[in-house]
């Protein structure tokens, strides 16, 4: 946990176990274990210590309680058994992640029972292997300390993925060095973070939509606007800071998946490297009064306009350099390639032009070493394979695209992530009276109950459901200006989605969940 412990603790301090375990049984009514300072023993002692960094231990400090940890090879990945006995805690797990989740449950129980824990048994494992949240730091930057709190809150709810959206039109948030440039490439790629990190979303006083009367119509009808939303925050992560965040997350059994945007959502690239804003791009560089090529920053909230010039070989040199740098940071973990909302590009170049560019992007990622990539649903028609994943998010493009998505999943054998915006988009308003949040997917707001009462399987036909890895809840950053805004929009809806991702569908009940919050 970072120093901002008050908002952090408020989102993890529940009345009961969240997410709900598969099996929970009190063994002896009235008998308890008086929990003391934990003394970890056995194979997973490190997981006990990692969990203690996530949830503070409520205990009787003058006592000590042994936590015995061991492996049961018959248990699946991430599964565990937790038993509270009269004099110790027993943790048996299928792997290190399962042991970590067992101790997370123990620490939740300690808060719930104020250190006097009934003798009980928990047998548990997740419904889905992919349980994610996405945070958009491109539109408005969040600091390393704030991301640590977001990681810890996710770990407290047994999430295992943090999808970090680090590049978009409005800002570039990762340090890129010139190390490893190809022979003959004299591009100063440090401009990407030196210049690209200095911009962010403009304030809600003027979001900058192309058609303000249409884009704002819904919220104006509800007597609301975005005037309370300040200018976005700027900044970037050094590569050392990113590696520290990666390792911090991995100790909590969370993998950070960075997203680098192609073919659109990348105006910031041309702002930082105007030599890439050539004839085939969405914008062309202009020469200023001192003879320098420039491309103005894009701080509007509007999406769908930007794309690079894929007939310019310098664009591909940039892509190769970026992927090599990202591979050094994350290795062969999945890389998110974006692929969404290239509306103006498709209008100008057609779907054929879009697919030609994106398949070459995919090829470069493969050649760099990325064996697994993730794409938003618009990328479903690309040359994907069984190791790749498509992320479903909207039906706004019509049923035809959804049918194509389902068909391509079956043809390619790729996996699916469900981020249905009508249930999982955390940037949708909690309250229509608050300027934070949008309404394009949920005109009346997205209450926690709607996020909870969702069966992700049912968004797909039975044959496709077998390819569903899990769910992810995105938080886009148009109205997020710090950790308070992020946690306001995330919780308790992310706690609800964490239970959707972990607990068997048949065992979930809204009233029961509400009572445990």
Where does the pLDDT of residue 157 fall: very low under 50, low under 70, confident under 90, or very high at 90 and above? very high
Each residue's pLDDT tens digit, 365-419: 999 999 999 999 999 999 999 999 999 999 877 788 889 999 999 999 999 999 9
505 with 453: CB under 8 angstroms? no
- pLDDT value at position 224? 54
pLDDT value of position 390: 98
DSSP string, 4-55: -HHHHHHHH--SS-SSPPSEEEEEEEEEEEE-EEEEEEETTHHHHHHHHTTS
* pLDDT over 70, % of the chain: 96
Closest Cα to residue 148, out of 20, 44, 7?
Answer: 7
- What was the pLDDT predicted at 210? 64
Q: Collapsing DSSP states into helix, strand and coil, what is residue 159?
A: coil
Which residues have CB under 8 Å from 235's CB, separation 6+? 141, 143, 173, 197
Helices 144-156 and 5-12 pack at an angle, to 10 degrees, of: 20
Measure the CA–CA gap between 424 and 493, rounded to whole angstroms.
Answer: 8
- Each residue of 302-330: pLDDT tens digit? 888 999 999 999 999 999 999 999 999 99
Strand-pair category, 161-165 with 130-136 = parallel
- Selected catalytic residue, list 78, 175, 341, 472: 341
C-alpha to C-alpha distances, 128 to 131, 136, 246, 469, nearest whole angstrom: 7, 23, 22, 6
Question: How many CA atoms does the CB half-sphere of 86 hold within 13 Å?
Answer: 4
- Write down the pLDDT at residue 211: 57
Q: Identify the pLDDT of residue 223.
A: 37
Give 3-6's long-range contacts (Cβ < 8 A, gap of 24+): 3/145, 4/145, 4/146, 4/149, 4/483
Per the annotation, the verdict on 83 as an active-site residue is no
Q: 192-203: per-residue pLDDT in tens?
A: 999 999 999 999
pLDDT for residue 206? 85
23-124: CATH number: 3.30.379.10
Q: Give, for 120, the enclosing helix (H) or strand (E).
A: strand 116-124
Has residue 212 got a pLDDT over 60? no
> Would 23-124 and 130-516 be classified into the same CATH topology?
no
Q: What is the mean pLDDT of residues 219-241?
A: 81
Give the mean pLDDT of 166-170.
97
Query: Residue 462: is it exposed, middle or buried by C-beta count within 10 angstroms (0-12/13-18/19+)?
Result: exposed
**Res 31 pLDDT > 90:** yes
Separation between Cα atoms, residue 6 and residue 12, nearest integer Å: 11
Q: Is 174 helix (H, G, I), strand (E, B) or coil?
A: strand
Q: Average of pLDDT values for 229-253?
A: 98
The pLDDT assigned to 289 comes to 87
Instruction: Give the rounded percent of residues in the chain with a pLDDT score beyond 90.
Output: 88
Report pTM: 0.96
- Give the containing element (helix H, strand E) for 258: strand 255-262
Hey, where are the domains in the chain?
Answer: 23-124, 130-516
Cis peptide before 502 (omega within 30 of 0): no
Q: CATH code for 130-516?
A: 3.20.20.80
DSSP code of residue 181:
P
Beta bridge partners of 70: 92
Residue pLDDT, tens place only, 254-309: 999 999 999 999 999 999 999 999 999 999 999 888 889 999 999 999 888 999 99
């Amino acid at each position: 946990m970072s120093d901002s412990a008050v908002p952090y603790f408020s989102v993890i301090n529940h009345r009961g176990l969240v997410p709900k375990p598969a099996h929970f049984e009190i063994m002896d009514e009235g008998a308890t274990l008086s929990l003391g300072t934990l003394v970890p023993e056995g194979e997973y002692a490190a997981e006990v210590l990692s969990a203690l960094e996530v949830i503070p231990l409520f205990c009787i400090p003058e006592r000590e309680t042994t936590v015995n940890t061991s492996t049961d090879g018959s248990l699946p990945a991430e599964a565990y058994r937790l038993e509270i006995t009269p004099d110790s805690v027993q943790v048996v797990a299928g792997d290190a992640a399962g042991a970590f989740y067992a101790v997370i449950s123990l620490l939740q129980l300690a808060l719930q029972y104020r250190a006097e824990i009934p003798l009980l048994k928990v047998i548990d494992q997740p419904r889905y292997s992919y349980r994610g949240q996405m945070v958009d730091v491109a539109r408005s930057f969040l600091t390393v300390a704030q991301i640590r709190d977001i990681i810890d809150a996710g770990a407290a709810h047994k999430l295992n993925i943090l999808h970090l959206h680090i590049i978009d039109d409005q800002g570039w948030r990762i340090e890129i060095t010139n190390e490893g440039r190809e022979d003959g490439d004299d591009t100063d790629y440090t401009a990407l973070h030196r210049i690209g990190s200095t911009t962010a979303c403009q304030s809600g006083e003027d979001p900058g939509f192309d058609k303000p009367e249409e884009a704002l119509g819904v919220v104006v009808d509800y007597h609301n606007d975005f005037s309370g939303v300040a200018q976005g925050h700027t900044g970037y992560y050094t590569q050392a800071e990113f590696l520290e965040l990666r390792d911090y997350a991995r100790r909590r059994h969370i993998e950070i998946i960075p997203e680098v945007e192609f073919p659109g959502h990348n105006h910031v690239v041309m702002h930082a490297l105007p030599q890439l804003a050539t004839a085939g791009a969405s914008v062309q560089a202009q020469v200023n009064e001192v003879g320098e090529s420039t491309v103005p920053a894009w701080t509007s909230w509007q999406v769908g306009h930007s794309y690079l010039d894929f007939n310019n070989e310098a664009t591909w040199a940039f892509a190769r350099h970026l992927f090599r740098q990202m591979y050094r940071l994350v290795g062969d973990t999945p890389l998110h390639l974006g692929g969404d909302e290239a509306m103006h590009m498709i209008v100008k170049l057609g779907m054929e032009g879009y697919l030609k560019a994106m398949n070459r992007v995919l090829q470069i990622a493969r050649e760099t070493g990325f064996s697994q990539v993730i794409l938003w649903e618009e990328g479903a028609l690309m040359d994907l394979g069984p190791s790749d994943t498509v992320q479903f998010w909207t039906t706004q493009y019509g049923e035809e695209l959804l049918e194509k998505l389902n068909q391509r999943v079956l043809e390619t054998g790729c996996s699916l992530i469900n981020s249905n915006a009508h249930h999982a988009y955390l940037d949708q308003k909690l309250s229509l009276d608050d300027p934070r949040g949008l309404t394009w997917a949920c005109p009346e707001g997205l209450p926690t109950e709607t996020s909870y009462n969702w069966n992700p399987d049912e968004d797909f036909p039975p044959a496709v459901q077998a390819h569903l890895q899990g769910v992810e809840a995105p938080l886009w950053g148009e109205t997020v200006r710090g950790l308070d805004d992020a946690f306001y929009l995330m919780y308790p809806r992310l706690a609800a989605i964490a239970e959707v991702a972990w607990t068997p569908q048949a065992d979930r009940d809204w009233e029961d969940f509400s009572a445990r919050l």
